[in-house]
Structure 1
Amino acid sequence: MKCLVQDSQAVSVRFPRIMIAAEKSGGGKTLFTCALLSLLKEKIQEVRAFKCGPDYIDPMFHRTVLEIPSRNLDSFFADGDTLRYLLGREVLEMEKFPESRIAVLEGVMGFYDGLGGVSERSSAWEVADLTDTPVILLVDMKGRSLSALASIKGFLDYKEKSHVTGVIFNRLSPMLYPGLKERAERELGIRVFGYVPELKNLTLESRHLGLVMPEEILGIRERLDLIKEKVRAGINLDGIIEESGRAAEIVVKLPEAAGRSISDQSTQKTVVAVAKDEAFCFYYEDNLDLLKKLGAEIQYFSPIHDRNLPEGTCAVYLGGGYPELHAKALSENISMRNAIRQAVMEEMPCIAECGGYLYLKDSIVDPDGVEWPMAGVLPGSSRDTGKLGRFGYITVTSKKEGLLGPAGTEFRAHEFHHWDSEENGTDFAAKKPVGTRGWDCGYTTESFYAGFPHLYFYSNVKIAENFIKCAETWKKKNPISEAGLEWIFARNYEGTE
């Protein structure tokens, strides 16, 4: 990675990067990306992974391979400057960065598929265009051969600047590869970086519209290793690395909020308790990072296994997940249900999204039809509707002053859920980005937000700032005891010399 020009607000950088895109959803992007990440780890010192779009689960597979977080790049949630910052921020935040590095971006759906199914806005192509990232198109060869070249030509020609610089043939017989490679390179003028044979019995299970989480798959690491070796044999890894090195320089600007902390420098930390376990696992890594930049100390806890909130908690963040699959365990942890209800009732700041929102309701009906008591902060129950409810991107506007900001505060979000409730709040107005459809949703007070929409803080950093400011106020009004400070110190430094 090379820094070319720098000033106080922006830095122009060139660093190796490549996007893996496909013609359609289900085209094998995640499996191939995981194999590629694993292979790159053998050759390159620092490998980073990104997922285009709002998906939570694909980055979990990236993390399983790399053992470090993967992040989202979403051009509905964030503008071009913010996307480029999120992609290239390590240049701004690390005093030294290794030259041996690469970023791999996994596309979303079909390469040009965007908002409402009728626009390239918020597509993988738009992310590639805004970040000037070379693209390798993963072409599904199942049931066809030479006809695939016509499809490739269409992807190359559809946009004047497609960014597609190479292809890989997926699910292709090794016998057909040499002839198809020669014709594609000769007739289309595009590099062919290899092929992947059909990976029988090595697919990943799905739930709803996405994969199941890696932790749910028995022997996931062994399975990913088998896939890696199958992929290794058929691709030109050195060629892919070479292509990534041709990526153009981009200008990375530091967002104002990312460069400042609003937390005070007192001994007591501003602890944000984040629910993370089998039931709650859907968080954008950049949301958590932004809270840290603003001065928060993230402490994870389990609503299933822990009996209380972490000592010194100043705010609670209940993310999405699958509480309906763990309703019995959540319900039986009465101590935690009471602790969270008491915290909310005492006006400790709280954000609860989707699954976290359902946990705060009176009850959840599990997949077997059994109703289980939950935290009881909000009225109503939730149950399986048998279909996705209000699926997709939305722009959300607050109708009243609350934790996230004054009336009129706007942010971008998305909904994705099979469980629904008859009582979902009316404190916000949600609107789809294409068409006229909209609905009321969500609950808010000066210290509380809960609703189905998943928030993305970089769409409006003020909502994160307001959350931390409210946590700061809580901390000052509710100082913890000296014994509590000693407990936190011991927890943070346990095992150190």
Structure 2
Amino acid sequence: MQEQLQARILLVSAVASGQGKTTVTAALARKLVLQGLRVRVFKTGPDFLDPMLLEIASRAPVYSLDLWMVGLEQCRTQLAEAARVADVILIEGVMGLYDGAPSSADLARAFGVPVLAVVDVSAMAQTCGAVVTGLRDYGPVNLAGVIANRVASPGHAAMVVAALRDIPMLASLSRQEKSLPERHLGLVLPDEVADIESLLDTLAEQLTLDADVWNAISPVQLDQEQAIEQVTSTLAGTTIAIARDAAFAFLYPANLDCLTKLGAKLCFFSPLANQPVPSGANAIYLPGGYPELHAATLSKAMIWQDSIRQAHARDVSIWAECGGMMSLTDSLSDLEGNSWSMAGILPGHVAMQKRLAGLGSQGLTTRHGILRGHTFHYSRLETSVAPISATFKHSSAGTGAVGEAVYKVGSLTASYFHAYFPSCPLAAAMLLTGEMVI
């Protein structure tokens, strides 16, 4: 039976990265929450850092929407689930509105979602009208309004409004005295910003919202087939120990949901706090993060290092992705050239560099199907271990290019590849149980 749902859904996009999409989305989400509305936020494309901030801003979990990595039907299901509990759904786009394959515009058109265009007007006024007209007409997309970011004054805002012609100005945000800090992979972890709550409240207060334009935005109708979810208990009886702290923070919430639905029991520990792998764990999941920023601490965490080496010696299955893999090499060099000893399970050395080494959507072909995900790193691994396989790069031109190597050393499987488990749950389960999925 088909279920009809509706909610006010908006995709927040821009002409390019750097326009302030995350800041504006966070400010809008917090403003609506403070007005008493129930808000859910999604992030387009592969991302870990923006969702952490948006979760704090909206006070609700933030999941990924991506037509390739997540898939059309799973995106539809997630939107429908959010529409059941939320008054407003915001979707932060990725890069520019039409960048990527599929793009944020493709996502908006797939579900009939109107678009809000964020424009950094700090160095323009009337030209803003030309920019947003082009954004609207190029696709085209249903452009519901503009949010002008980094506005200098009321007079400046008035010039922008006049230049928009038939496109309404939904909101404006003045130049911010304090911005959200960033580092090489994007925003810093929100937990590292001492006054993050007050900063978000300030941004919400500074965001001026035109109530008439807001109220004129029509709800989006969602048709969702009511189906009984088929759950396989592939991981029933399996306890998975998951590293989670500032060095191992890059976790899709959907990955944890997927493991739980497969029947696994999840327990968490902190290598940074020198905690050992929890006793009784049948499998270990080391996600990505910032081990390079905490290499000195990790190099001295002997309890953690001994426990992971002992688990490996006992043939406990380990899946380590990106930063998790880096922590298991012999050594890691930071950007200052300092070398730090790591756990030494994967022979080799990792060196940080200023140049991007890997970026983009990728997939791993397995006997259960394609496990999709992405890669994003500034380090290089030098190892004598021969890869057992490699991911493939996803692009509009095809999927033939070779992506990240996948390594296997005993019970360890490791790669720079960040896997999105719900894209192929059985393949994810095999990674966690150490079975060959290639």
**What TM-score do you get using the length of structure 2 for normalisation?**
0.90
1:13-412 alignment to 2 at 5 Å? Answer: 13-89=5-81, 97-98=84-85, 101-114=87-100, 121-160=101-140, 162-172=141-151, 173-178=153-158, 180-182=160-162, 184=164, 187-188=165-166, 190-199=167-176, 201-231=177-207, 234-237=208-211, 239-240=213-214, 243=217, 245-251=218-224, 259-264=231-236, 270-397=238-365, 406=367, 410-412=370-372
* Structure 2 unaligned regions, length at least 5: none
Residue aligned with 1:127, SS? helix
CA separation of 1:178 and 1:367: change in aligned 2, threshold 3 A? closer
Alpha-carbon offset, residue 242 of structure 1: 5.2
Highest Rg: 1 or 2?
A: 1
Contact 2:42/2:92 (<8 A) preserved: yes
Amino acid at match of 1:198: R
Corresponding residue for residue 480 of structure 1 = none
Contact 1:30/1:106 (<8 A) preserved: yes
Q: Give the Cα–Cα distance (whole angstroms) in 2 for the partners of residues 365 and 253 of structure 1.
A: 51
Contact 1:85/1:253 (<8 A) preserved: no
Q: Give the Cα–Cα distance (whole angstroms) in 2 for the partners of residues 255 and 22 of structure 1.
A: 38
When the two chains are superposed, the root-mean-square deviation of aligned CA atoms in Å is 2.5
Q: Give the Cα–Cα distance (whole angstroms) in 2 for the partners of residues 464 and 256 of structure 1.
A: 18
Q: Give the Cα–Cα distance (whole angstroms) in 2 for the partners of residues 241 and 34 of structure 1.
A: 20
CA separation of 1:461 and 1:132: change in aligned 2, threshold 3 A? farther
Residue aligned with 1:154, SS? helix
Alpha-carbon offset, residue 36 of structure 1: 0.9
CA separation of 1:255 and 1:127: change in aligned 2, threshold 3 A? farther
Alpha-carbon offset, residue 241 of structure 1: 5.7
Alpha-carbon offset, residue 425 of structure 1: 4.4
Q: Give the Cα–Cα distance (whole angstroms) in 2 for the partners of residues 210 and 241 of structure 1.
A: 33
Deviations 1:366-399 (CA, angstroms, capped at 9, x unpaired): 33323222111110011113211122222333xx
- Range 375-384 or range 421-430, more displaced: 421-430
Larger relative strand fraction = 2
Percentage of pairs with the same residue: 33
Deviations 1:226-258 (CA, angstroms, capped at 9, x unpaired): 222111xx2225743652x5212233565955x
Contact 1:84/1:130 (<8 A) preserved: no
Corresponding residue for residue 427 of structure 2 = 463
Amino acid at match of 2:172: Y
Alpha-carbon offset, residue 283 of structure 1: 0.8
Alpha-carbon offset, residue 43 of structure 1: 2.7
Corresponding residue for residue 452 of structure 1 = 416
Amino acid at match of 1:367: L
Contact 1:303/1:330 (<8 A) preserved: yes
Amino acid at match of 1:323: P
Q: Give the Cα–Cα distance (whole angstroms) in 1 for the partners of residues 78 and 52 of structure 2.
A: 18
Contact 1:291/1:468 (<8 A) preserved: no
Contact 2:405/2:415 (<8 A) preserved: yes
Residue aligned with 1:103, SS? strand
Amino acid at match of 1:191: P
How many residue pairs are counted as aligned between the two chains?
430
Contact 2:284/2:432 (<8 A) preserved: no
Corresponding residue for residue 491 of structure 1 = none
Alpha-carbon offset, residue 462 of structure 1: 2.0
Q: Give the Cα–Cα distance (whole angstroms) in 2 for the partners of residues 14 and 429 of structure 1.
A: 42
Corresponding residue for residue 389 of structure 2 = 428
* Structure 1 unaligned regions, length at least 5: 1-6, 92-96, 115-120, 398-404, 472-497
Residue aligned with 1:393, SS? strand
CA separation of 1:312 and 1:112: change in aligned 2, threshold 3 A? same
Q: Give the Cα–Cα distance (whole angstroms) in 1 for the partners of residues 156 and 181 of structure 2.
A: 29
Contact 2:413/2:431 (<8 A) preserved: no
Q: Give the Cα–Cα distance (whole angstroms) in 1 for the partners of residues 148 and 333 of structure 2.
A: 45
